[in-house]
Amino acid sequence: MTPDAADPATAELLIPVALPAGAVEVSAELVSPASPWAFAGLAHGAGAGYRHPFLTGFADALAREGVATLRFNFPYVEAGRRMPGPAAHAVLTWTAVHAELVERAAGVPVAAIGKSYGGRMASMAAAEGAIDPAGLVYLGYPLHPPGSPDKARTAHLPDVPQPQLFVEGTNDPFIDPHEQLEEAVASCRRAEIAWIEGGGHSFEVKGRKRPPAEIAGELAPLVADWLRRRHSGAGPT
């Protein structure tokens, strides 16, 4: 923890996103310590918006590590829909969020972090060259629908040029069998897996009931340390 990160500042924002049918705005919240050494976009999963306790807990914990985050909605959530819209809309949203962060960061490293669906959309944006983050972190990458390993979502991953960290629970049905994920990660240019023993898709551990914010908060030091190691000199030692 950095000395100036105890009381982060927060700011509600509206991020304009240029969709094919016209511009929309998505809600977002910036959580920042006084002197962040890194910034990160932080995207929600398919079934939750940017205010989900998992994301708020993770953002608060990252702020204590000296990392500022910008949580945001995808357009379908902003419009009150439950089902994700076209992947192209999510890529455009990541593009707008990343551009906002790069401007605010003023030379400080900017990462892309996403829970499940949000992380997969970040990887697609990076593979297409729509964003150029310092690194990508996936909190429970949805490798395939549960029980359907034949429907793998991996074809684009080798095209991601940036470092990638897959934070995965060992009991996550979205990555069973584990060998399939390991093979996908091995096909990437610079990627590694951080296993969370006993964790499910949201890192819940059977028989150990905890609030989502607490579960997510425990992942933040691991992610912050990975970002520091990828960009030596960026963060505090």
In degrees, to the nearest 5, what angle opens at C-alpha 125 toward C-alphas 147 and 56? Answer: 75
What does each C-alpha distance from 205 to 111, 142, 167, 174, 237 come to in angstroms?
27, 18, 15, 15, 31
Dist CA 181 CA 176 (whole Å): 8
> Which two tokens mark 237?
């030692």
Q: Which residues lie across from 69 on neighbouring strands?
A: 31, 40
Q: Give SS3 for 21.
A: coil
Walk along the chain (237 residues) and give the pLDDT tens digit of each residue: 444 445 899 999 999 999 999 999 999 999 999 999 999 999 999 999 999 999 999 999 999 999 999 999 999 999 999 999 999 999 999 999 999 999 999 999 999 999 999 999 999 999 999 999 999 999 999 999 999 999 999 999 999 999 999 999 999 999 999 999 999 999 999 999 999 999 999 999 999 999 999 999 999 999 999 999 987 655 443
Residue 5: the pLDDT is 42
Residue 6: the pLDDT is 58
CB burial readout 188-207, b (16+ within 10 A) else e: beebebeebeebbbbbbbee
Each domain of the chain, given as residue ranges in start order, spans 3-230
Residue 114: the pLDDT is 98
Q: Does domain 3-230 have CATH number 2.60.120.260?
A: no
DSSP string, 33-58: -SS-SEEEEEE--TT--TT-HHHHHH
pTM above 0.85, yes or no: yes
Residue 232: the pLDDT is 67
